[in-house]
Amino acid sequence: MGAPVNRSPKTFRVKSFGCQMNVYDGERMAELLGAQGLSPAKGEDADLVVLNTCHIREKAAEKVYSDIGRLRREDGTRPLVAVAGCVAQAEGAEIHRRTKDVDIVVGPQAYHRLPELVAEAARGKRALDTDMPAASKFDVLPSRAKTVRPSAYLTVQEGCDKFCTYCVVPYTRGAEVSRPWSAIVDEAKALVDAGAREITLLGQNVNAWEHDGRYLHDLIEELAKLPRLARIRYTTSHPNDMRDGLIAAHRDIPKLMPFLHLPVQSGSDRILKAMNRSHSANSYLAILDRVREARPDIAISGDYIVGFPGETDQDFEATLQMVRRIGHSMAFSFKYSPRPGTPAASMPDQVAREVMDERLQRLQALIVEQQIAFNQRLVGRRTEVLLERPGKYPGQLIGKSPWLQSIVADGGAVGDLVEVDIVAAGPNSLTGVIPEILAA
């Protein structure tokens, strides 16, 4: 027996897990439900809860089922539950089979149909849509909210054709598709009108964006003309789509922030080949050389996987060596997680858990060391911060430096771009003092 459900929701909550693109999708779903007359609810008492899920690693995917369980209330009832995002796409109807506590399953390319699916669920039907229709959801989604945060996301590209052997994204998000130029420029204008000072262009392979012979750097150049837009970022890039024009944009467009997240995954050519990355350690480093020539102060971020099948101590040493050569401002590292349906999951020589644990610890220690060193270099310098949200204590605000470091400032207002003097730095944040306050 399932728990009793209120089938005519008046309030909703969207919880997003996973990458920035999921966060963006979550915002669009919230806007869509808002346009249907539902109001956002905080806390646990929303009538409709959308779990916007991530399938990238096993841990992320398994989390969904415990989250569903936790939605049951003390009185035995539960909200109407929708599972959206990449787990919905990957598992589809299997979710309905596995639990009675989900009413709607909706994939990342079908969430514009959420109102119809909610209506079906209201009639007691178990709703499902994981289609990847040819027509774009973006054409039917309502326009952007009237107010947005100072730093806004804008999805310009979706999907992936790269098929790295460990990765589910090509299956959950489908083939690479670029949104049209004018739709993106219009959405950027709407975001700026709604208060955005910074826009991060998003795509699973954002630098593969292409429309009518124009590329990502052309788009960045166009958006840089919006007077009230102060900062532009983009993520995530693939090394093989790092065009000359984009590298030059880091030199030529001041509003393009000096930050590049360019995952390499491993420093071993043997492993890169098994991963189907189609770049080598050296070709990756050569790209970074050119990027740094264009913009010497650029901060480099990356992603690493340890314990890919067949990874030896020697391969792992090559990854550490790679990280030492690069000198990251930050980087993400993960234990390899075998994903159903991917080629790597059935490769021989899967690496033992203890070996992965040990490698991850060593890699993360090195990355933290680099992160501290990078942050320390800013101490004693003045830098610009976009204040994004209130801090823990009254009068404190938290924002980002051009290099994407978190900075705790002692004044200003959300949405302000202020100059601060950096007085202290830790691994994860820096302390900034607004000079006027010092002088007073």
Residues that bind ligand F3S (CB under 6 A): 18-19, 21-22, 54-56, 85-86, 168-169, 172-173, 204
Indicate which of ligand F3S, ligand SF4, ligand SAH, none lies near residue 425 (CB less than 5 to 8 Å, by partner kind).
none
Write the interaction track for ligand SAH spanning residues 44-83; mark x where CB under 6 A is met and - where it is not. ------------xx--------------------------
Q: How many CB atoms lie within 10 A of CB 315?
A: 22
With binding defined as CB under 6 A, does residue 22 bind ligand SAH? no
With binding defined as CB under 6 A, does residue 334 bind ligand SAH? yes
| DSSP letter, residue 142 | P
Write the interaction track for ligand SF4 spanning residues 24-43; mark x where CB under 6 A is met and - where it is not. --------------------
Least distance (Å) between residue 266 CB and ligand SF4? 12
Least distance (Å) between residue 176 CB and ligand SF4? 9
Least distance (Å) between residue 156 CB and ligand F3S? 15
Show the tokens assigned to 322. Answer: 């790679």
Least distance (Å) between residue 158 CB and ligand F3S? 9
Specify the residue, 329 or 337, whose C-beta has the smaller distance to ligand F3S.
337
Write down how long the chain is: 440
Distance CA 113, CA 29 (A): 10
Contact between 54 and 235 under an 8 Å Cβ cutoff? The reply is: no
> What's the CA dihedral at 158, 162, 166, 172 to 10 degrees?
30
Specify the residue, 155 or 405, whose C-beta has the smaller distance to ligand F3S.
155
Indicate which of ligand SAH, ligand F3S, ligand SF4, none lies near residue 402 (CB less than 5 to 8 Å, by partner kind).
none
**Chosen residue from 238, 279, 328, 339 binding ligand SF4 by CB under 6 A:** 238
Indicate which of ligand F3S, ligand SF4, ligand SAH, none lies near residue 170 (CB less than 5 to 8 Å, by partner kind).
ligand SF4
Residue at 129: amino acid letter = D
Show the tokens assigned to 359. Answer: 């490698």
The one segment of 123-131, 185-193, 247-255, 334-342 that binds ligand SAH by CB under 6 A: 334-342
Secondary structure class of 160 (helix, strand, coil): coil
CB-based burial label for 173 (10 Å; 0-12, 13-18, 19+): buried
Distance CA 350, CA 180 (A): 42
Name the E strands within 194-331.
Answer: 198-202, 210-211, 214-215, 231-235, 259-261, 299-301, 303-306
With binding defined as CB under 6 A, does residue 169 bind ligand SAH? yes
**Site residues (CB under 6 A) for ligand SAH, limited to 226-285:** 236, 238, 263, 265
With binding defined as CB under 6 A, does residue 163 bind ligand SF4? yes
The one segment of 37-45, 147-155, 163-171, 370-378 that binds ligand SAH by CB under 6 A: 163-171
The one segment of 29-37, 164-172, 242-250, 362-370 that binds ligand SAH by CB under 6 A: 164-172
Residue at 228: amino acid letter = R
CB-based burial label for 373 (10 Å; 0-12, 13-18, 19+): middle
Strand partners, 15: 51
> What's the CA dihedral at 2, 3, 6, 12 to 10 degrees?
-100
3-state helix, strand, coil in the chain (%, to 5): 35, 20, 40
Q: How many CB atoms lie within 10 A of CB 121?
A: 21
Specify the residue, 151 or 319, whose C-beta has the smaller distance to ligand SAH.
319
Residues in contact with ligand SAH by the rule CB under 6 A: 56-57, 160, 166-167, 169, 204-205, 236, 238, 263, 265, 303, 305, 334, 336-337, 339
Which residues contribute to the site for ligand SF4 (CB under 6 A)? 160, 162-164, 167, 169-170, 204-205, 238
